[in-house]
């Protein structure tokens, strides 16, 4: 789809289903949302279209699962007015401002205030939605990363040890961290409970008492934000960014008979944040069989400000020129409507020749 703003990749089971029945909103059972910070802003148009239009006419139980900004996006999707919530999230996220010298405590307090404004006292809507079952992925640190005393040297040591272990084998990362899933109380996250990788898993029901902390923890990058501790209902310990284990959410989707609709800022999936520079770890297995992955095309990205997606480095690149960064990010968010329009047209008349297989 070289002239299109989107690239579409299909798993084999998804391709067969679409060839037989077209793209049916009622077939979509899972919506994943990756970590990735500001990159997730480019999915704003797709989020508003999916939850404001596409799914609205085909109510069913759907699992919304996310890490970091993906968890924030999925929480917004589960509000009674998801479009308004997504617009609020886009405005708040693009509007972040930080001084030249910033501490993890400052960033954590800023993000906590952002989440307070996003939730707007209505978090119960997101955790009690009758159709959307939200799951928030976080990481519980082990060893040095599990320290709750706030010592930066321990945190640095723990992160370096985790990175060194992961460089040798993803399995070794499990010695430094565990996956903790905060899930909708009507969904026991059964599809994740049977082991599918090397990580120990914990499951905690979402509640008014832990929603904000779970969302904050899911985006708490070591050395950038502080760990979140004392989360209601969860095992004691230090909680970090869910993207450390589940950056692009390489989860056992094939266990669900339905389809997975995955709006993503990349056209491939890597398991963890520390795997980004390791192309040999990109997912190519049966977990993607029932997936529809829609992502920005290279031509679309080239048309954006600075010919790239918004990313976390922009905070340093733009420095104290907050207005220019905010303007460019909002322009990219506005352009994301082109992706939504293109995908909506394709769903109405899916042409499998315009897609790529995993």
pLDDT in tens, 90-149: 999 999 999 999 999 999 999 999 999 999 999 999 999 999 999 999 999 998 888 777
CB 66 within 8 A of CB 304: no
Pull the structure tokens for residue 157.
């040591």
Query: For position 2, what pLDDT does the model report?
Result: 52
Q: What is the per-residue pLDDT across 52-71, written as a single tens digit (0 to 9) for each? A: 999 998 999 999 999 999 99
Whether residue 194 contacts residue 213, with contact meaning beta carbons closer than 8 Å, is answered with no
| pLDDT number for residue 1 | 46
Q: Is the pLDDT of residue 226 over 90?
A: yes
Assess whether pLDDT exceeds 70 at residue 248.
yes
Res 155 pLDDT > 80? yes
Asked whether residue 257 carries a pLDDT value surpassing 50, the answer given is yes
> 126-131: which pairs have CB atoms within 8 A and are 24 or more residues apart?
126/75, 126/76, 126/78, 126/79, 126/211, 127/78, 127/184, 127/185, 127/206, 127/207, 127/208, 127/211, 128/185, 129/78, 129/184, 131/59, 131/60, 131/61, 131/62
Confidence of residue 25 (pLDDT cuts 50, 70, 90): very high
Does residue 288 have a pLDDT over 70? yes
What is the pLDDT, as a whole number, of residue 121? 94
- Segments of the chain assigned E as strands: 6-10, 28-33, 62-67, 132-141, 177-183, 201-205, 239-241, 259-263, 291-296, 356-357
66 within 8 A of 74, measured Cβ to Cβ: yes
pLDDT of residue 153: 81
What pLDDT is attached to residue 266?
A: 97
**How much is the mean pLDDT over the chain?**
95
Structure-token match 């990159």, residue found: 39
* Least confident range of 144-148, 295-299, 304-308: 144-148
At 206 the pLDDT is 97
For the ranges 1-15, 27-41, 60-74, 210-224, which has the lowest average pLDDT? 1-15
DSSP code of 350? -
Domain borders along the chain are: 6-357
Sign of the alpha-carbon torsion through 247, 250, 255, 257: positive
Question: 159-217: per-residue pLDDT in tens?
Answer: 999 999 999 999 999 999 999 999 998 888 889 999 899 999 999 999 999 999 999 99
pLDDT-derived band at 4 (thresholds 50, 70, 90) equals very high
- pTM, whole model, 2 decimals? 0.96
């Amino acid at each position: 789809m070289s002239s299109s703003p989107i690239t579409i990749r299909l798993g084999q089971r998804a391709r067969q289903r679409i060839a037989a029945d077209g793209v049916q909103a009622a077939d979509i059972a899972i919506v994943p949302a990756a970590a990735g910070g500001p990159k997730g802003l480019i999915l704003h148009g797709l989020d508003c279209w999916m939850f404001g239009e596409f799914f609205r006419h085909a109510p069913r139980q759907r699992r919304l699962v996310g890490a970091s900004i993906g968890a924030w996006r999925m929480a917004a999707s589960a509000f009674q007015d998801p479009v308004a919530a997504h617009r609020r999230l886009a405005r708040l996220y693009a509007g972040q401002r930080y001084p030249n010298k910033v501490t993890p405590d400052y960033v954590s307090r800023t993000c906590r205030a952002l989440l307070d404004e996003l939730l707007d006292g209505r978090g119960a809507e997101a955790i009690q939605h009758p159709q959307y079952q939200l799951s928030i992925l976080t990481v519980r640190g082990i060893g040095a990363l599990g320290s709750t005393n706030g010592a930066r040297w321990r945190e640095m040591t723990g992160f370096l040890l985790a990175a060194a272990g992961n460089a040798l084998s993803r399995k070794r990362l499990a010695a430094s961290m565990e996956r903790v899933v905060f899930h909708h109380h009507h969904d026991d996250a059964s599809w994740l409970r049977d082991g599918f990788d090397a990580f120990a898993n914990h499951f905690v029901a979402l509640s008014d008492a832990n929603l904000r902390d779970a969302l904050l923890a899911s985006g708490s990058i070591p050395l950038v934000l502080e760990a979140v501790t004392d989360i209601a209902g969860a095992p004691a310990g230090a909680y970090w960014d869910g993207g450390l284990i589940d950056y692009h959410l390489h989860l056992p989707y094939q266990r669900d008979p339905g389809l997975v609709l995955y709006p993503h800022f990349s056209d491939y999936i890597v398991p963890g944040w520390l795997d980004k520079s390791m192309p040999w770890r990109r997912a190519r297995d049966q977990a993607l069989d029932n997936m529809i992955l829609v992502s920005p095309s290279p031509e679309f990205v080239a048309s954006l400000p600075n010919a790239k997606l918004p990313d976390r480095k922009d905070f340093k690149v733009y420095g104290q020129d907050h207005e220019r960064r905010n303007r460019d990010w909002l322009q990219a968010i506005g352009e994301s409507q082109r992706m939504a329009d293109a995908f909506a047209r394709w769903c109405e008349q899916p042409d499998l020749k315009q897609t790529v297989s995993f």
